[in-house]
Chains A and B, each alone.
Chain A
Amino acid sequence: MQNVIIRAAEEGGHAPENPLGFVPVEFALSLVVFGILLFAIRKFVVPRFEQTFAERTAAIEGGLSAAETKQAEADAKLAELEKQLADARHEAARIREEAREQGAQIVAEMREQAQAESSRIVEHGKTQIEAERQQAVTSLRAEVGALATTLAGRIVGESLDDEARQSRVVERFLADLESDGSTRLSSTGTGSGVN
């Protein structure tokens, strides 16, 4: 037993329908509903999606270009720093070289100065020694003269207190000594020391 078919009033009762049959109401309604949906989607949905997509694309592209700029900047900075570093190394090498030259120069100067100083000191020493020797010779001459005079006076018993005579005797004595050589002088000196 099949349905008791109660068709809607506008269609009226009928036998089982053909599944391929054309139902104008459904056809029209489908178009209307689809049309309304299409309108709504076109108006409210698609623009927002497209806007979001466009914004996102722009953001990504912007981000990429920003990153590229940053990269380029970083590269430039790196190159600059490397150049600076190379310059600094160069400078350091130059300064070191200069210092070395200066050091060598200073050492040479110092050496020269020291040499001069030492030779000056030696010279000075020699001069002093010579002066002292002269002084000693002079004082010896006086002393030895006095000693010899005293000695001779004692031996001879003759006073040699007279100034002129005394110096004449000493002069003569010394002249004898000098002609005999300096050894005699020193022995005389020694002799007087013993006395």
Chain B
Amino acid sequence: MTTMFGITMAESGGEFSPPGPNSFDFGAVPLFTVGEYAVTKPVVQLLLGALVVFVFFYAATRRASMVPGRMQFAGEAAYGMVRNSIARDIIGSHDYRKFVPYLVTLFFFLLVNNAFASIPLIQFPTFSRASMAYALAALSWVVYNAVGIRKHGFVGYLKLQSVPSGVTPLMYPLLVPLEFFSNILVRPVTLALRLFANMFAGHLLLILFSTGGLFLIEYGGIGYIAGPLAWVLAIAISFLELLVQFLQAYVFTLLNAMYISGPLADEH
């Protein structure tokens, strides 16, 4: 029996089968197929998320005027938050404009796709699919390295990222590999894993408390008390998840801005 959360429960014998990685595997249950390709729920969400972001901003700017209407005001507040408090404050007023479209797109694409975890009937965070998080992390890696290489040249950029300033050359054998490792290799990995793991774990928790609560009530006995308690906790966790969804989108974008700003700043 497949629940609406995409997990299975034991049909008999009172065994609880906890949610696991299989709760995130939609390959088995495609929404529909196009030709011989199965279109899964996360893929549809990915498209829907992009559409929502674009439609919102397009509607906000459709009749852009000096005195904003309600829609334009909301759009400006959202756009201005990323533009001013992420792009401008971190990259600096000299270079930030070039990166505003990228950072705005990144933040709101992530935000909407993360928020899908809490939107009724969708209730699945798109970026709990690791490959999708990998994609954005890979893109970030390309962007910030490209910015650095364009500014300092390939060797200059590697030197900037790997050789720490203000350290005696005696320490270089130890520090240079470490810096290179942390600045060039680890960054995309942490970006991807942070996003993926937060979304994955949050969703797992919600499923656990929701289906666990149901199971407990069906089990009877003490379950009549524990089950509703689990559901109350599920509601509390949902609110926590709202925060996490926003925070992860924000952190991902913020780190992108910081990685970009690193080589752009004259004094590292």
B36 at interface (Cβ–Cβ under 8 A)? yes
Cα of A88 to Cα of B219 in the assembled complex, Å? 103
A98 at interface (Cβ–Cβ under 8 A)? no
Q: Are B105 and A41 in contact (CB under 8 A)?
A: yes
Min CB distance, B207 to chain A, in Å?
Answer: 13
Cα of A37 to Cα of B100 in the assembled complex, Å? 13
Find chain A residues with CB under 8 A from B72 CB.
52
- Encoded as 1 (CB less than 8 Å from any B CB) or 0, chain A from 5 to 49 comes to 111111100001111111111111111011011101110111011
Known: A17-B21, A22-B134, A48-B64. A8 touches B38 (CB 8 A): yes
The number of chain A residues touching the other chain, given as a range, is: 35 or more
Q: Are A37 and B105 in contact (CB under 8 A)?
A: yes
* Complex interface: stretch among B23-31, B152-160, B234-242, B253-261: B23-31
A51 at interface (Cβ–Cβ under 8 A)? yes
Known: A8-B27, A19-B200, A37-B50. A52 touches B65 (CB 8 A): yes
Q: Are B102 and A38 in contact (CB under 8 A)?
A: yes
Cα of A42 to Cα of B79 in the assembled complex, Å? 12
Set A4, A19, A41: member contacting B21, Cβ < 8 A: A19
Interface size on B, residues (CB 8 A): 59
Q: Are B139 and A31 in contact (CB under 8 A)?
A: yes
Q: Are B129 and A23 in contact (CB under 8 A)?
A: yes
B182 at interface (Cβ–Cβ under 8 A)? no
In residues 1-57 of chain B, which contact A (Cβ within 8 Å)? 2, 8, 10-11, 17, 20-22, 24-25, 27-30, 33, 36-38, 40, 42-43, 46-47, 50, 53-54, 57
Min CB distance, B89 to chain A, in Å?
Answer: 16
Min CB distance, B63 to chain A, in Å?
Answer: 10
Q: Are A34 and B21 in contact (CB under 8 A)?
A: no
- Max chain B CB contacts within 10 Å: which of A1, A25, A55? A1
Cα of A33 to Cα of B105 in the assembled complex, Å? 11
* Apart from A7-B27, A41-B54, A49-B64: 4 A-B pairs, beta carbons within 8 A: A4-B28, A34-B136, A41-B101, A44-B61
What residues make up the interface of B, taking CB atoms closer than 8 Å to A? Answer: 2, 8, 10-11, 17, 20-22, 24-25, 27-30, 33, 36-38, 40, 42-43, 46-47, 50, 53-54, 57-58, 60-61, 64-66, 68, 72, 75-76, 79, 83, 97, 100-102, 104-106, 109, 128-132, 134-136, 138-139, 196, 200
